[in-house]
Structure 1
Amino acid sequence: MSTTEPQRLTEFSRGAGCGCKLSAAELRSALDAMRVPLPTRPEVMVDPSSADDAGVFRLGDDVALVQTLDFFTPIVDDPATWGRIAATNALSDVWAMGGRPITALNIVAWPRAALGWELLGEVLDGAASVLADAGCALVGGHSIDDDEPKFGLSVTGVVHPEQLLTNDAAQPGDRLVLTKPLGVGVLTTAVKRGLAGRAAEDRAVDWMCHPNRSAAEAAVAAGIRCATDVTGFGLVGHLSEVLRASGAAAELEVASVPVIDGVRELVEAGAVAGGSQRNLDDTDHVDWAGVTTTDAVVLCDAQTSGGLLLAVPPHLLPEVMAPLGPEGAWVLGTVVEAGPGDAPLITFTDGR
C-alpha cells in the first residue's frame, strides 16, 4: 500500500492563474520601451494599441480571424480541473470579441524531473473536454521543460466583421453589465494559504469553468458592440482599459457589483494575492471616495476565467439580460462623459 501524498500542483507556482500576469502598469512600461514599430498589415482590424482581448485580421467582407493566447501557473491542485479552467479562460478571449473558436494549440511548460507525465495527461484531458464542448479543434501544441508548470492555449476563431465586439466602443449612457461575480482570486488564494477549504475552492472552480459563450451570443444577438472579459487586471483594471480606449469615464455602484459568498470575509482575513495588490496599486485614475478597503480589494481582485463586461445601450438592456437571467448578468454602473485633464476615469455612487 502506497503512503505517497498526492502532488500539489499549486506548490510549484509562485502565483496562481491569471494572478501571475504582469500588471497593467508593468506591461505598459515594457511596451513603451519598444523601439521597433509594431509590424502591421492593412487587414488588421484590432491590434495591441487598444489593449483588447485578441487580435483581429480581416480575411474578407464576411469573415475575420480572431487570434489570442493565454496560459498560466496552476490555480488548483487537480490537474484535469486546471486544464478545464485554462481552456475555458483561453476560449473566453475569442467569445469576448464576438467570435467563434475553431482551432487551438496547447502551450505546456512542465518540470520533467518533478511531476509525472500522467498528471500532464490529465491536464490535457481537461482542456480537450472543454474544447470539444465548444466545437473547437485541437490541432497541435508546444512544450518545454520548466521548474514551474504552466499551461494554456493559443486559440483562433472567426467573426463576421459587423458583429465584432471591441473594448473601444463604450458610449456615455451605456449601462455596464458583468456576467460573473468577483472573487475567484481571493478564494483560490485563501485555499492556498490554508484560510479556506474545499467548499471555497468548489465555488471558485464552478465559476472559472463556466464558459462565456452564452453571454457573448446574447451580446451579439442584441447588437452590442463593446465587450471585454475580466481576468488578471480585475474589474477596475479591465474597465479602465475600456474607458481609455473609448475616451469615456464610468460611475460604478458598489452595492450592485456581484461578489461570491464569503469573499469579503476572506479579504479581511488576509487572502489578497500579489497580483490583486499590484492591480490596486495601479489605480491613480480611480476616485475611491466612499469605498471600503475590502471592497477596493474585491474590485481589483485578479480573476481567472472571469465574466464578460459589456457596455449596453439602455434600450438593448432587456435583450441582453433576459436570456442570461438574474444569476447570469448584473448591472453595476454607467458609462459617462470623460472629465477634463486628470479627472478620474472611475468614480463610485451609492446607487440611489
Structure 2
Amino acid sequence: MSEAPIRLTSMAHGGGCGCKLAPAVLQDILRKMPASVPCADLLVGAETSDDAAVYRLNDRQAIVATTDFFTPVVDDPFDFGRIAATNALSDVYAMGGRPLFALALVGMPVSTMPVEAVQDILAGGASVCAGVGVPVVGGHSIDSPEPIYGLVAIGLVDPARALKNATARAGDRLILTKGLGVGIFSAALKKGELEPDAYRAMIASTTKLNAVGADLAGLAGVHAMTDVTGFGLLGHLLEMCRGAGLGAEIAFDRTPLLPYAAALAAAGHSTGAAARNWASYGHDVTLPAGMPSWRRGLLCDPQTSGGLLVAVAPEAEAAALALCRSAGFDQACVLGRMLAGAPNVSVV
C-alpha cells in the first residue's frame, strides 16, 4: 500500500505571504529599531517600507538586495518552490532591476518531512531561477517545526531607473497587473474545497514572474511601483500613499480578480491575515456604504507572488498597459488614481 501524498499546508500554521506579521504588529516591533547609519550611496533603505534595498555602486549601476520566505501556500512541493522563488525575485523587478543570483533559505521539519519533498521544493525554486538565468549559489538551512522556503535575491539596476514605492504623483493612474484572490484560494485549498480549474489559475498567476517591472522602469511617465503581497492591495497602496504624502481612489468594480475568487470569497472563504490587515489599516480606508464584507476581504487578501502596482502619468497610461499586456499580463488594468490630500484610500 503506497503512502498518502504529503500535504504541505497541513504542516504550517499559515500559508505564503499570509503568514507575514500584521502591518500594525510589524510597525510596533520596528518602533525602537535604531536608525541606519547615514550613507550617501544607499538610495533606498527601510524608511518607506519599500520592496528592496538599493545601493549605488557607480553612476550606472546599483545593487538591489531583498529576501523573502514563507510557509507553504500549496500542497505540491515543486509548486511551492516555484511560487516562493517567483515571489522573492519579484521584489527585484518591483524596483526596476533584474536579478543576478540568489541564495536559498530553507527550514524543514526533518524528522517528519520526506527528503524527496524537500528536494522537490528546492528543484521548483531552482527551475524558476534557471528560467531567467539566475544561479542559486548557496544559502542556509535549519531544522524547523514548519516547512519554510525562500530566497535572498541580488539584482542590478541603473540608479536613474530605480523605482520606489514613495514617488507617485497626484493624478497618476494606478495599474495592477495581476488579479487578487491568492489568499482566498489557499484557504479553500486547505479545506479541500478548491476546484482543479481554480488551482490551475492560482498556479499560473503565482508562478508568473514580474519581469515586466524592469521594462516599466525604462518607460517615461512611470513614477512609482511596488508589488502586492502579504498586506493586500489596500495595505501596499497605503504604503505608496504614505511615502508620497498623497491619497488614492480605487474602484472595486475595476479591480482585477482571479477567476473564481469572487465566488469563493462570497461563499465565506477568507484568511486570518486579511482580518489582521484590515484591523491594522482600516482606519485609513473609506469604503462605500453597504459594501459586502467579502469584497473588503478581497481588497485586504494577502497575495503570495502578487502583481505589480504601478503609478503612471495619464499620458503614459496606454503605453504602460500595452507593455504589461505584451508581457502576458492579460488582467492588467487601471483601477484608480493618486490624489492630493492626506494619505488614505477611498474605495468607490
TM-score by length of 1: 0.94
Quote the residue 1:18 is aligned against.
17
Between the aligned partners of 2:311 and 2:103, the Cα distance in structure 1 is 31
Residue 308 of structure 1 corresponds to which residue in structure 2?
Answer: 308
Residue 336 (str. 1) matches residue 339 (str. 2): yes
Letter in 1 for 2:307: G
Q: 1 CA distance for matches of 2:313 and 2:153? A: 30
| Structure 2 Cα separation of the partners of residues 148 and 40 of structure 1 | 37
Alignment of 1:67-106 (within 5 A): 67-106=65-104
Matched with 1:32 is 31
Tell me, in whole angstroms, the C-alpha distance in 1 between the residues paired with 2:324 and 2:293: 31
1:318-329 matched pairs, under 5 angstroms: 318-325=318-325, 327-329=330-332
After superposition, the Cα gap between the structure-2 partners of 1:219 and 1:58, relative to the gap in structure 1 and judged at 3 Å, is closer
Q: Are the equivalent residues in 2 in contact too, given 1:105–1:139 (CA < 8 A)?
A: yes
Contact 1:233 1:301 in 2 (8 A): yes
Give the distance between the partners of 1:194 and 1:111, measured in 2 at CA.
Answer: 23
**Equivalent pair of 2:221/2:313 in contact (CA under 8 Å):** no
Q: Secondary structure at the match of 1:320?
A: helix
Q: Secondary structure at the match of 2:160?
A: helix
Q: Distance in 2 between matches of 1:148 and 1:332?
A: 37
d(CA) in 2 for partners of 1:104 and 1:249? 36
Structure 1 residues 54-203: aligned runs within 5 Å: 54-203=52-201
Offset of residue 276 of structure 1: 1.2
Task: Give the structure 1 partner of residue 202 of structure 2.
Answer: 204
**Partners in 1 of 2:126 and 2:35 — Cα distance?**
37
Q: CA 1:215/1:95 → structure 2, altered by over 3 Å: closer, same or farther? A: closer
- The worse-fitting range, judged by mean Cα deviation, of 116-125 and 197-206 is 197-206
State yes or no: 1:277 paired with 2:275. Answer: yes
Counterpart amino acid of residue 316 in structure 2: L
> How large is the Cα RMSD of the aligned pairs?
1.4
Of 188-197 and 153-162, deviating more is 188-197
One-letter amino acid of the counterpart of residue 305, structure 1: S
Cα distance in 2 between the residues matched to 1:270 and 1:189 = 10
* Worse-matched range after superposition: 280-289 or 65-74: 280-289
Q: Is the contact made by 1:8 and 1:77 (CA closer than 8 Å) also made in structure 2?
A: yes
Counterpart CA distance in 2 for 1:113 and 1:316 is 54
Deviations 1:310-331 (A, max 9, x none): 0010011111111323724110
CA distance in 2, matches of 1:59, 1:132: 26
What SS is found at the alignment partner of 1:49?
A: coil
Q: Deviations over 1:95-139 (max 9, x none)?
A: 000001001000000111001211111111111111111221211
Greater displacement, 176-185 / 197-206 = 197-206
State the alpha-carbon separation in 1 of the partners of residues 45 and 103 from structure 2. 21
Question: Which residue identity is paired with 2:32?
Answer: A
Aligned residue identity for 1:94: V
Structure 1 distance, partners of 2:147, 2:20, is 14
User: How far does the alpha carbon of each residue in 1:55-96 deviate from its partner, in whole angstroms, 9 at most, with x for none?
Assistant: 011111111100000000011111111111001000000000
SS in 1 for 2:310: strand
Distance 2:279 2:266 in 1: 18
Q: Give the match for residue 4 of structure 1.
A: 3
Unaligned runs of 5+ in 1: none
> What is the number of residues matched between the two proteins?
343
For residue 346 of structure 1, report the CA deviation from its aligned partner: 0.7
Structure 2 CA distance, aligned partners of 1:277 and 1:198? Answer: 27
Question: Are 1:163 and 1:223, in contact at CA under 8 Å, matched by a contact in 2?
Answer: no
1:41 is displaced (CA, Å) by: 2.5
Q: CA deviation at 1:12?
A: 0.4
Q: Does 1:297 align with 2:297?
A: yes
- Equivalent position of 2:287 in the other structure: 288
For residues 228 and 130 of structure 2, what CA distance do their matches in structure 1 show?
A: 24
CA gap 1:99/1:173 in 2 versus in 1, 3 angstroms: same
TM-score (norm 2): 0.95
What SS does the aligned partner of 1:220 have?
coil
Selected match of 1:47 from 45, 48, 56 = 45
Amino acid at match of 1:11: S
